[in-house]
Amino acid sequence: MTRNRLALLVLPVGALAIAGCGASKSSNPTSPSVAGPIAGVNISTPAPVSPTQGTKLSAKDQPVTLVVQNASTNGQRPITYRFEVAVDAEFGNKIATREGIEPGGEGKTSYRLPDALTADRTYYWRAKAIDGANESAYSETVGFSVVTPAEIQTPVPLEPVGSATAASQTPVFKVSNAARSGPVGEVFYTFEISQNEMFTALIASVTVPERIAETRFTINQVLPGGIRLYWRVRAFDGNVSSAWSQIQSFFTPKVTTAPPPAPGPSGPPAGGWPKTGEEVVAWATRSYPDRLVAGVSLSQRQNNMAFVRDRMIEAGICGGMELAWNLKRGGPDKSIDYLAYRKAGRWIGVDIGAAYDDTSIPLTLQWGENPGDSLVTPATYSPAPSCR
């Protein structure tokens, strides 16, 4: 009775031993559960493909996709990949981890992050290949940044707009400054004025630097009178530009025949003709006060400035000075408030009107010599003045 009882007790112990062997990891290399790393199996390190070291990705092009060149193995087990993204090169602060990614085709495997990364900071990523028993080393750590792209919005034309008639044939063009985002540099505006809406008959193309809030300029050429013209504008910096603005149109005022200018004073003034620039300014200021008044139209101010310019040249020539018209940018138009003066054997430029196009204030004459003006272009004044 005692032996039989002992024999019966041994059987459960054997059964337990058999069950324990069934729960252990298999030595079969293709089994899902393998006992530790398999000796002799080597998995190569996957190579980063994209993004590469130092890449700057636009915040608009998200989520980011990571790509590696597939690893190779001499083992029998299939490989999957583990991707990691962190905000530090040591991967102490990981923000994305994904395992079990199946190899892709054409020798590359990719992983698209589930969410967009915060812009204007640097990130680091790496990957490794795993077969469940063995694994490769981590790939090279790759740093990349997500940046807010530089972008300049379309500027908005302010005047002249809506087919209005401009105040003069040299109108002021004004635009509301373009909104921008990202790392935008110094901004400039290009204005185009054309005789047609296709802008195949350009009259002028002018580029000016941005001013505060609104950017404006007064065109420095007389536009044809009594016609409809079209204009547009765009903003740009050294890297990006906006789209062209909405096309605007306006009419130039009709051309009217101006009465001939009153002749200059006959004969030399008391004390003789002026012999220096300062004397020329003082003489013209005394002689033509009606040409210096405020509150006139821009076209009248331009006519007044041109009239006084010619009288100043005549008076200076009669006083023995070598004066001439100045051709703007080599011609053919003459500068309205600028003349040429031969001094010490060479021609220099002279600014004779202070803010002459501001018609809200009286015209102030001056003698501002500019010896460094390499673009001064003298044109002989004609006809020669009568100095008697």
| Long-range contacts from 106-110, C-beta under 8 angstroms, 24+ separation | 107/69, 107/70, 108/49, 108/67, 108/68, 108/69, 108/70, 109/46, 109/67, 109/68, 109/70, 109/81, 110/65, 110/66, 110/67, 110/68
What is the per-residue pLDDT across 32-64, written as a single tens digit (0 to 9) for each? 666 568 888 999 999 999 999 999 998 888 999
Going by pLDDT thresholds of 50, 70 and 90, the confidence category of residue 340 is: very high
pLDDT at 7: 38
pLDDT at 23: 43
Rg (CA), the chain: 42
In terms of pTM, does the model score above 0.95?
no
User: Which helix (H) or strand (E) element contains residue 19?
Assistant: helix 2-23
Going by pLDDT thresholds of 50, 70 and 90, the confidence category of residue 17 is: very low
Mean pLDDT on 338-358: 91
Q: Do the Cβ atoms of 317 and 381 come closer than 8 Å?
A: yes
Domains in the chain (CATH in brackets) are 47-147 (2.60.40.10), 151-251 (2.60.40.10), 277-379 (no CATH)
E-only strand ranges, 41-120: 47-50, 55-58, 65-69, 80-86, 94-101, 108-112
385 residue type, one letter? P
Q: Do the Cβ atoms of 369 and 277 come closer than 8 Å?
A: yes
Phi-psi category of residue 345: left, alpha or beta, with phi > 0 → left and psi -120 to 50 → alpha: left
pLDDT at 256: 63
pLDDT at 1: 42
What is the per-residue pLDDT across 89-143, written as a single tens digit (0 to 9) for each? 999 999 999 999 999 989 999 999 999 999 999 999 999 999 988 999 999 999 9
What is the per-residue pLDDT across 300-315, written as a single tens digit (0 to 9) for each? 899 999 999 999 999 9
Closest CA to 385 of 310, 303, 298, 300: 310
pLDDT at 206: 92
Going by pLDDT thresholds of 50, 70 and 90, the confidence category of residue 183 is: confident
Mean pLDDT of the chain: 87
Q: Which residue has the tokens 């039989």?
A: 4
Q: Record the tokens describing residue 140, joined without a space.
A: 């090279």
